[in-house]
Structure 1
């Protein structure tokens, strides 16, 4: 078929070439135009449609770049999408449009945070200072992390978390997962991993890649059951010291001493995951286990995902001296995984005292937010057990009834609300990204969604026993 002209309704607020491009793309994806159909020439469009030559050229160029049409010299422009690829292109286009159109008003997921709690102007200032230093950014970064940042973190980790290490024991990575990969490569084999029975999928992925067997250990109110741990063959224990046990509280002193004694007696290792452990705003802060380890049995991992920005991909790991020597022997085989520019900016930010001041502000900020959120949850869900995970900036809700949370999560999305549940099927509500003024309306909507789900499930016929 040879197309005579392009019929479309002009709209304001969008470039004319984009309107022409979108019209032709839609006709191709809907099947009105098929492979081999000829489009009108640029000159003919210019005359019949009364549009500029530039608009037609730019629309055709975009279609050419994306593979929708081809240009044959002396003949013209032709549709060039195979019939079997039309549906795939349509799906990709619709998916991209859906993602752009989706507007989230209440985001209770743990992957997001309130950007207003971070001084972006100050952070941009430090980034600019680094970018102005042309020599520094013209070289590759150090595999173990920039020395300036390691020295700044050495002091910060000791001051805030009681971590004792040299700068050479400190490794910088883009995430705790990338650091775990490095750690697993340094360990003596065979390795048997111990975890709380609730598990930790991101860490388990790394252990699985190394074919390390994992033992899930029963958890008690204050953390892993010591009786099960002692009776197991575990020689590498993974613990989240900021949120442990059934009650998701920081590890208490008694449990820390028991774990360190177990590691010393077994000559075992402990990975202390202390993600954002400095964010204590209701409970009294307990120093990291690593600072009490005298035998080199603890690997410490820290992160800034909830303190600075989730998009700032910097985590750090402190390894015992024995593992540091192994790392030194193969250091040239590693490459940096975290941006050198961001590392140098963070080093200056910490050295000037901004990180400690920022953490103090965050404690006050999240104390206020969490208290307000708890009040609302207790008001609207009086029958639920409400547990606060301080470092994770989230509440866990345990209901006295069974409910399909998956259907609630899907329904919430229709109301511009994002929810999540944990591996135990409990509703997890992060308050990091919810604005104070939106909390009451968000909790009220959540209550309405849960009540509607309860009523719907109560009407459904029960399966015969």
Structure 2
């Protein structure tokens, strides 16, 4: 069977179906695909490339419309039988190709941990619900809404949080905001900038930057196999701890129940707060999810942060926090002057998406999809890298840390991979000292890649790293 192996750019403005049709045209024009050759079936190509049937259909329709191929009923799709001499002189790109910057054009496979699978997002449903949100109340939706966010959406979030993460809250406790960093800035004002914040090290660097930009004193706390080092935390002057217990970023360990209870006891003794960032708690590949810290907390010492960036789409910029009673009172007394930062239209669309059951269906589908991608990444690393690489944090989330055992340092690993068109990411970015540690560990995200791209990327890494 004819094999088609395009490298698709998911960040490009050029739709995937056009990228695929352009690739097939170039293969035909260069003579690598011969006249009268039969193209793979839509279903086989969809499975092989990890693309939807609609994308494959649109690409084949484009090729048919331009006369490069023809569809024969009950037989398949075939290349039009032109004279090969006509094709052999066509060595230039088609006019539909999008020009790229030189540095961007080098990247064939991008293991970006911030990317999600957009190919399977229900665009038609989202578009329909957006129009529904508009038509229900076309005038009112364009006025400023509740500073906390749309009440109906907060009700849906409260229901889902209790069912999936054991978070106990009312809609009144939920504040919606345009991303975790925005909410973290507001939360810092609520708690007070005079407090010292303990941060996991390594940990999520964007939170560290927000706190430092606000002039807050921050302290790095090292990690052990259970997450944030409690002994070190107790010996510090911190009264606030920011943690990612469901899937530590970036190392991926899950905080066990014993450590969670100890951390809650620390917060009670300090009269402080734990900020629980559950940034991708929906995706877990081994065992059952451990209840959230917030759901275990009887004393109102946990602020729960959540986001739709990983589970839906990053650009929608809808995140939320759940405030305990004391901070909620302070918010309602002093901070409702801050207007809501998320579009009411997007909030209303998401409300309908959740209420009508589309959210749960989409989440179930993505869990299955990401589980397959994670398995593909594990298999590719075992097959191509073997004992030369150790996987860290593979039980949850959309990324892993890879410890490469070839005596290359981080910068060498990244630069040699880039020479073959593979982009991997430095672990040192998340170190408190801003990359002062230069080890042999890099981050590989897999959410935005197909299974084929994952395998190809790891094969290229084997060559780049001479493993």
TM-score by length of 2: 0.72
Match of 1:131 among 126, 134, 138: 134
CA contact (8 A) 2:252 2:397 kept: no
**How many Å separate the matches in 2 of 1:248 and 1:101?**
29
Q: Relative to structure 1, is the Cα distance of residues 319 and 107 closer, same or farther in structure 2, using a 3 angstrom cutoff?
A: same
Any residues of structure 2 matched to 1:251-270 within 5 Å, and which? 251-270=255-274
Give, in angstroms, the shift of residue 212 of structure 1: 1.7
Q: Which residue of 2 aligns with 1:183?
A: 187
Q: Which runs of 5+ in 1 are unaligned?
A: 1-95, 455-465
In the alignment, which of 118, 123, 142 is matched to residue 120 of structure 1? 123
- Measured in 1, the distance between the counterparts of 2:278 and 2:263 equals 15
For residue 330 of structure 1, report the CA deviation from its aligned partner.
2.3
The equivalent position to 1:396 in structure 2, one of 393, 398, 401, is 401
Q: Distance in 2 between matches of 1:440 and 1:255?
A: 37
SS at match of 1:157: helix
| Correspondence 1:201 to 2:216 | no
Confirm whether residue 235 of structure 1 aligns to residue 239 of structure 2.
yes
C-alpha displacement of 1:290: 0.1
Aligned to 2:79: none
Matched, 1:420 2:425: yes
2:157 is aligned, of 145, 148, 153, to 153
Q: 1:245 to 1:254 in 2, by over 3 A?
A: farther
Separation in structure 2 between the aligned mates of residue 101 and residue 163 of structure 1, nearest angstrom: 42
CA drift of 1:178 comes to: 0.2
Distance 1:119 1:280, change over 3 A: same
Q: In structure 2, what is the Cα distance between the partners aligned to 1:247 and 1:410?
A: 22
Query: How big is the shift at 1:151?
Result: 0.9
Partner of 2:279: 275
Partner of 1:351: 355
Cα RMSD after superposing both structures: 2.2
Query: Given the alignment of the two structures, is residue 319 of structure 1 paired with residue 319 of structure 2, yes or no?
Result: no
96-105 or 227-236, larger mean C-alpha shift: 96-105
Pairwise CA distance, 1:137: 2.6
Corresponding residue to 1:443 among 458, 463, 466? 458
The DSSP-based 3-state class of the residue aligned with 2:139 is helix
User: Residue 388 and residue 248 in structure 1: after superposition, are their counterparts in 2 closer, same or farther (change >3 A)?
Assistant: closer
Change (3 A) 1:449 1:316: same
* Equivalent residue pairs, number: 357
Give the aligned partner of residue 13 of structure 1: none
Indicate the residue corresponding to 1:305 in structure 2.
309
Tell me the CA shift for residue 390 of structure 1.
4.8
C-alpha distance in 2 between matches for 1:172 and 1:450: 44
Matched, 1:376 2:391: no
Within 2, Cα distance between the matches of 1:391 and 1:339? 31
Which of 313, 328, 334 is residue 330 of structure 1 equivalent to? 334
| Pair 1:285 & 2:282 matched | no
Structure 1 position 249, deviation (Å): 1.7
Asked if residue 213 in structure 1 is aligned to residue 217 in structure 2, the reply is yes
CA distance, structure 1, for counterparts of residue 323 and residue 416 of structure 2: 45
Q: Secondary structure at the match of 1:117?
A: coil
Alpha-carbon distance in structure 2 between the residues aligned to 1:333 and 1:252:
39
Equivalent residue, structure 2, for 1:93 = none
Q: Which has the larger radius of gyration?
A: 1
* Alignment gaps of 5+ in structure 2: 1-98, 429-436
Distance 1:389 1:101, change over 3 A: closer
Task: Give how far 1:258 is off.
Answer: 0.7
> Do the aligned partners of residues 203 and 364 (structure 1) sit closer, same or farther apart at CA in structure 2, a change above 3 Å counting?
same
Whether the 8 Å CA contact 1:219–1:245 is kept in 2: the answer is: no
Q: String of CA shifts for 1:153-193, please: whole Å, max 9, x gaps.
A: 01111111111111111000110100001101111452011
Distance 1:389-1:168 versus aligned 2 partners, 3 A rule: farther
The answer on whether the counterparts of 1:145 and 1:336 sit within 8 Å (CA) in structure 2 is: yes
* Structure 1 residues 418 and 245: CA distance shift in structure 2, 3 A: closer
Offset of residue 309 of structure 1: 0.8
| TM-aligned CA deviation for residue 313 of structure 1 | 0.6
Q: Which residue of 1 aligns with 2:33?
A: none
Helix, strand or coil at the partner of 2:316: coil
**How many Å separate the matches in 2 of 1:337 and 1:324?**
18
